[in-house]
């Protein structure tokens, strides 16, 4: 894919190249278009209206329509479904949805790159991008960020939450600097810093539930209970092995990405959430409690980044701080 950041052009056909139906020739793949046209397209997708998008961009509606029509002709694909006379709502075609996703990633990457390049050689100012799942181990990163903030107040942090698949995808695309994962990293692909923190698997439940009387929870305790499990576990984690049952044989009433949302259902008595400890507050007046699994499962935590990664100064300083804190 050919990207020209400084004259703000990009090979748009390459954005659609991951779709098997995009059968462009190599000559056609050389076509480029300005970044601003991608921004126009994103505005239309966001507003679901060419008229409202034109107003937000301070353009005339005919000018914006012409730009998008030219984009469609260049790509040889219809990107928008225009509304009928009775409706001005605009929806995206399948190719339009693909372009929106890729265009948003590219625009984020362009912005990140320009910010890094704009930083002075003598001043550490800029952004650090981190992807991580929910874990109490984030305290390690928070401590490093706090210490670094005292030295370099111009550093800002952006955290994206998601499972390991999401984190590695964002890392591979260059949208984040570091990822926090809870599985053995691929050392051929990533540099690794093992963090001095472990998460313990267990069950979040109401304090008045029958299982709350137990000190630890066995697989048999959960076989006939309504369960809430993380989406990553539902897609093939280690919980099925621990349960000694296929997940299809269990009463899984919900999968979740954010444990806080699942905890609200647990609090209302809908079931038991299998999760890490110390994420949800179970102290004091909380109606919830946590019980570890037996046999126990402990998960190690790793910070990873791409091999041969060229860091911005803020990201480089953050890594150094994390390495110092880990060794101390």
If pLDDT is split at 50, 70 and 90, which confidence band does 85 have? Answer: low
Give me the percent of the chain exceeding a pLDDT of 90: 63
Q: Which helix (H) or strand (E) holds 27?
A: helix 26-29
Q: Given a cut of 90, is residue 113 above it in pLDDT?
A: no
- Residue 218's φ and ψ, nearest 5 degrees, are -95, 165
CATH fold for domain 122-197+300-327:
D-Maltodextrin-Binding Protein; domain 2 (3.40.190)
Out of 105-119, 146-160, 205-219, pick the least confident. Answer: 105-119
Residues present in the chain in total: 328
pTM of model > 0.85: no
Q: Cβ-count burial of 113 within 10 angstroms (0-12 exposed, 13-18 middle, 19+ buried)? A: middle
**What is the pLDDT confidence band of residue 197, given thresholds at 50, 70 and 90?**
very high
Residue with tokens 């984190």: 167
Q: Are 104 and 249 contacting, i.e. CB atoms less than 8 angstroms apart?
A: no
Q: Tell me the CA distances in angstroms from 317 to 126, 129, 190, one per residue in order.
A: 11, 13, 19
Do the domains spanning 3-114 and 122-197+300-327 agree at the CATH topology level? no
- Whether the Cβ atoms of residue 103 and residue 15 lie closer than 8 Å to each other: yes
pLDDT (tens digit, 9 = 90+) per residue, 11-30? 544 455 444 444 444 344 34
Residue 5: which pLDDT band, with cuts at 50, 70 and 90? Answer: very low
Map out the domains of the chain as residue ranges: 3-114, 122-197+300-327, 200-297
200-297 CATH, one of 3.20.20.140, 3.20.20.70, 3.40.190.10, 3.40.50.300: 3.40.190.10
Separation of alpha carbons 93 and 312, rounded Å: 37
Domain 3-114 CATH class label: mainly alpha
pLDDT, position 20: 41
Q: To which residue do tokens 């209970």 refer?
A: 225
Whether residue 2 is predicted with pLDDT greater than 70 in this model: the reply is no
């Amino acid at each position: 894919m050919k990207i020209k950041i400084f004259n703000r052009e990009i090979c748009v056909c390459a954005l659609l190249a991951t779709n098997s139906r995009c059968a462009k020739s190599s000559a056609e793949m050389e076509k480029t278009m300005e970044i601003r046209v991608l921004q126009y397209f994103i505005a239309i997708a966001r507003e679901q209206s060419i008229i409202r998008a034109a107003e937000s961009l301070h353009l005339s509606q005919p000018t914006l329509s012409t730009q998008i029509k030219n984009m469609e002709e260049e790509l040889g694909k219809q990107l928008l479904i225009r509304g009928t006379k009775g409706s001005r709502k605009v929806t995206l075609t399948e190719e339009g949805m693909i372009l929106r996703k890729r265009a948003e990633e590219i625009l984020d990457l362009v912005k990140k790159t320009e910010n890094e390049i704009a930083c002075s050689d003598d001043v550490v100012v800029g952004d650090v991008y981190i992807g991580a799942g929910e874990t109490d181990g984030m305290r390690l990163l928070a401590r490093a960020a706090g210490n670094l903030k005292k030295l370099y107040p111009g550093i800002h942090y952006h955290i994206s939450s998601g499972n390991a698949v999401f984190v590695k995808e964002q890392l591979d695309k260059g949208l984040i600097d570091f990822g926090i994962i809870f599985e053995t990293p691929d050392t051929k692909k990533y540099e690794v810093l093992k963090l001095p923190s472990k998460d313990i698997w267990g069950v979040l439940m109401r304090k008045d539930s029958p299982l709350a009387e137990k000190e630890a929870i066995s697989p048999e305790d959960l076989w006939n209970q309504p369960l809430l499990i993380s989406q990553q576990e539902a897609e093939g984690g280690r919980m099925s092995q621990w349960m000694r049952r296929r997940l299809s044989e269990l009463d899984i009433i919900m999968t979740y990405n954010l444990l806080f949302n699942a905890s609200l259902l647990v609090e209302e008595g809908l079931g038991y959430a299998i999760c890490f400890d110390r994420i949800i507050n179970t102290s004091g007046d909380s109606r919830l409690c946590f019980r570890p699994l037996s046999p126990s499962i402990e998960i190690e935590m790793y910070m990873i980044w791409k091999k041969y990664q060229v860091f911005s100064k803020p990201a480089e300083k953050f890594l150094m701080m994390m390495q110092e804190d880990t060794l101390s």
